[in-house]
A = this chain, B = another copy of it.
Amino acid sequence: MCRWAAYRGDPLYIEEIVSSPAHSLIEQSHCATRAKTPTNGDGFGIAWYGDRPEPGRYRDILPAWSDCNLRSLARQIRSPLFLGHVRAATGGATRRDNCHPFVQGIWSFMHNGQIAGFERLRRAMESMLDDELFDARAGTTDSELMFLLALQFGLTQNPFSAMSDMLSFIEGLSHKLTGSALIRFTAAFSDGKTLHAIRYATDQFAPTLYAAPLGKGYCLVSEPLNDDVDAWMEIPPGSAVTLDDDGVSINAFKPEGIKEAARAVMA
């Protein structure tokens, strides 16, 4: 069970979300209050968009609360769109390549959740990737692989459709290889312009997702960053969230089976 927070709006210092509030990500990593896994000490990461098309990124495997580099960077770097993640390993060794956010080109991605029986699905999932995306796989997590599959299914062209196809593919694959399927998936992802998020699960336990205005912008979080309960809107399960210049929009999200184009990729 991981925790994450993302922001889009007027440039904001990363520390506003990562270290300043009473229930910032770092504080949450030290003492999680609403989640089942009692600690988050398996690494962390931030990705932010600045002058370059691709995001900057800093990841490390230390507990976030003891990392001086993170504190200094979060205090210095101001960005109109950034993602922060604290990891509690459900699978995959503790190493930088397994820390979120994952980045490919201009895209960044981070995730809370898991795929039941991932080890039995991993190879078949990896075999779906084109050579270029296959070579881009650096770690061993289900999260990174879901991101690469979404890119395979057209994340650049149609983000939510690609995520839907990715989830449909994994659900189908899991039924085929294991006789059942359980996916929990609350993720944020961005191309540097729009910030997207999804809250979804194949059962009724989709990991939580909240939104709130922050400064001249909005933030999306896996857990509220403070105890001001009125400020945080819970996004219902089965939702796709978009933050862009028009503000926040929330739509129903339900993978409907794989579309024709994706089916062609899988053939």
Chain A residues proximal to chain B, CB less than 8 Å? 30-31, 38-39, 41-42, 48, 50-52, 56-63, 66-69, 72-73, 75-78, 89, 93-97, 119, 122-123, 131, 134-135, 138, 140
User: How many chain copies?
Assistant: 4
Contacts of A62 in B (CB 8 A): 61-62, 94
CB distance from A80 to the nearest CB of B (A): 14
Are A31 and B41 touching (Cβ within 8 A)?
no
Chain A binding site: helix, strand, loop or mixed by DSSP?
Answer: mixed
In-complex Cβ contact of A52 among B61, B75, B131 (8 A): B75
Q: Verify A73–B73 contact, CB threshold 8 A.
A: yes
- A33 nearest CB across to chain B (Å): 10
Contact of A56 among B50, B52, B60, B72 (CB under 8 A): B72
Residues of B within 8 Å of A59, CB to CB, are 68-69
Please judge, given known A-B contacts A72-B58, A76-B52, whether A123 and B94 are in contact too, CB under 8 Å.
no
**A123-B131 contact, Cβ under 8 Å, with A31-B39, A41-B39, A93-B66:** yes
Whether B42 and A39, one on each chain, are in contact in the complex, defined by CB atoms closer than 8 angstroms, is: no
